[in-house]
A and B are shown apart, each in its own frame.
Chain A
Amino acid sequence: MTDSCHEPTLQPGEAPHIEVRDLTMAFGDFVLQRDLSFSIPRNSIFVIMGGSGCGKSTLLRHILGLLDPAAGSVLLDGSRISGLEADERQAIMSRFGVLYQSGALWSSMTLAENVSLPLEEYTELDAAEIREIAILKLAMVGLKGFEDYYPAEVSGGMQKRAGLARAIALDPEILCIDEPSAGLDPISSKRLDDLIQELRDSLDTTVVMVTHELPSIYAIGTDSIFLDAETRTMIASGPPNWLRDHCDHPTVRTFMTRGEGEDG
């Protein structure tokens, strides 16, 4: 590990929005990643990078509290959110919005009903108001007119966008996104990136994103970490553009230049 691969993600004196402290992730005896420590600044677009199978999505699930850490902890605004009891976690979950890799829309509900469910669960609004907000959210992601379609009836890109509309239904503080561009063409993927950036700017959201799509990492990522599958640790951290220019760790270099920068 070289220092040229670590640029602090926080300004001096800035409090992190989410902090991960000495986190070790393991399934039984199999350790996926050990001693991860990093801070996610408020209002950033924080990218978790790494090769396939290094534990990126698992890290996201730890941050969301879907999995309990083998050691270490995750802190939100300074208070621990990992390893909580189900009812304690419930209160925190409405501050998170999640977009899953495949959209994970509920297939028996229309797009509008998908977006409405979190609103029905967490607010006291009446049905007409909820429908109004659901239509607004779907319009924001460019799905005006598709409210009464079922997920199976729209394209993969539209399912992703509908998933994003559901993720922002409660105006979350933190938006977690797993592989936003998986299975999307470059144009749809670019539009989704723009949308994520726009939502981050307008809603003051912190975005935590797992991806290995280089164009989106460079275009919208403000900070990042790099997980290595071999050493099972974090081998780089900092703004993605900075890492590309400064980090000389071979794995990171190969990843960030797609192998084209190996000789230069």
Chain B
Amino acid sequence: MTGPRIEATRGPEGLTLTASGQWDIEVATPDAQAVERAVTSLGPGDVLLYDTADLEKWDSGLLALLLRLESIASDRGAKVDRRGLPDGAGRLLALAESSPAREDARRSEEKAPVVDRVGTAALDAIDEAEESVTFLGETTRALGRFLTGRSRYRKRDLWLLVQQAGAGALGIVSLVSFLLGAILAFVGAVQLQQFGATIYVANLVGVAMARDMGALMTAIVMSGRSGAAYAAQLGSMKVNQETDALVTLGISPVEFLVVPRVLALSSMMPLLTLYSVLMGIAGGALVGMAMLDLSLTTYWNQTLGALSITGLVGGLFKALVYGVLIALAGCREGMRCGGSASAVGDAATAAVVSSIVAIISAAGVFAWVFYVLGI
């Protein structure tokens, strides 16, 4: 097997390029610098010829090289004679040239001036805010129609969503909450041991889980679990034109797709949070029993004494709001998803990011409001 070679020789007819050997881009490519220099020296009236008598095998590597050399030659005014090329190679080169470049197709990669970009970004932000408000309005109206029983949706879908957002999430919520309760107990125990007040670990864990941490952790788990799933589901339905198919049937996608998801998640979030609080207390109790020699009854009674109904109800209310926020963020990102597979990924990412931002902001507002109200 001979490697690929290309040489240039000047004769009476013109410059002859002799290609020989086996051209295979997966094996080796020849050194073409000398040939390129020779072709660069051509001038008007010269002719570029080919000799491929010893060419055993050729592929696109040869074609791409020839195309480059030919364009150099024609820039210098030389003529190209392709008769010496193998039949197929000549035809493929002709094919590549036959479709003229659409000049208007070429992208302009110029960067806009800073002022321009700032302005565009600001206008985009306003548009986006407007879209968000519109989406919120549409969802609220659709929710109103749902409550008055005029909404169109499939009951089966709703129950399936409820199952996915509720029972389906028990495993992950158990794990996270149990460990969170245990971690809180550890941290608290180290501090409280200094005063010999380790029994108050139960208060710490119970109150923290019931008022804030239960709802917050559940919300963060659910934004990764359900929020991202909603964005991906609606996004790929958008890509497959399934949402268009609903619209042409006269069914509002918001009514059919968004409302059931908002309802499913916002109804399941308080229940999951209640469960999460119990799991957190269990985690705390394990640490209390194993590390602090507290008995289960002591721990439990101490927790009951610390918990207040208002605190717990406040926690569950927060969970409800977080649920609405997660579902809205997920559905909104899904509904505005672009038309490709990577857009679906972007939508899922955006859904998780914006729902976590929304949850944390809401938690901040709640903390302030509850403080002012003295709850």
Interface residues of A (CB under 8 A from B): 94, 107-108, 119, 122-125, 129, 132-133, 136-137, 139-140, 142-146, 148-152, 169-171, 195, 198-199, 201-204
Contact = CB atoms under 8 A, between A and B. Distances in A.
A149 B107 contact: yes
Interface of B: 25-26, 28-29, 59-61, 63-64, 67-68, 87-89, 91-92, 95-103, 105-107, 109, 338-343
Given A132-B64, A171-B60, A152 B339 contact: yes
Given A107-B342, A125-B29, A145-B101, A136 B96 contact: yes
A202 B105 contact: no
A52 to B, nearest CB: 19
A75 B104 CA distance: 47
Contacts of A125: 25, 29, 61
Contacts of A203: 88, 92
Nearest to B87: A202
Contacts of B338: 152
Contact of B105 (A137, A145, A171): A145
Among A122, A152, A169, A171, max chain B CB count under 10 A is at A171
Contacts of A107: 340-343
Nearest to B346: A108
Contacts of A202: 87-89, 91-92, 95
A152 B339 CA distance: 7
A139 B96 CA distance: 5
Contacts of B29: 124-125, 129
Contacts of B101: 144-145
Nearest to B24: A171
A150 B99 contact: no
23 contacts: A94-B26, A107-B342, A123-B26, A124-B29, A132-B68, A133-B25, A133-B64, A136-B63, A136-B67, A139-B95, A139-B99, A140-B92, A140-B95, A143-B99, A144-B100, A145-B102, A145-B103, A148-B107, A151-B340, A152-B338, A152-B339, A203-B92, A204-B88
Given A108-B341, A149-B107, A204-B88, 14 more contacts: A94-B26, A107-B340, A107-B342, A108-B342, A123-B25, A123-B26, A125-B25, A129-B29, A136-B63, A136-B96, A139-B96, A145-B102, A145-B105, A170-B26
A171 B25 CA distance: 9
A121 B67 CA distance: 23
Nearest to B89: A202
A229 B100 CA distance: 45
Nearest to B28: A124
Contacts of A140: 92, 95-96
Q: Which 8 A-B pairs have the closest CB atoms?
A: A202-B88, A107-B340, A142-B99, A145-B105, A145-B101, A139-B96, A144-B101, A108-B342
A9 B89 CA distance: 28
B315 to A, nearest CB: 42
B26 A122 contact: yes
A264 to B, nearest CB: 41
Among A129, A144, A150, A195, max chain B CB count under 10 A is at A144
Contacts of B92: 140, 198-199, 202-203
Contacts of A169: 60
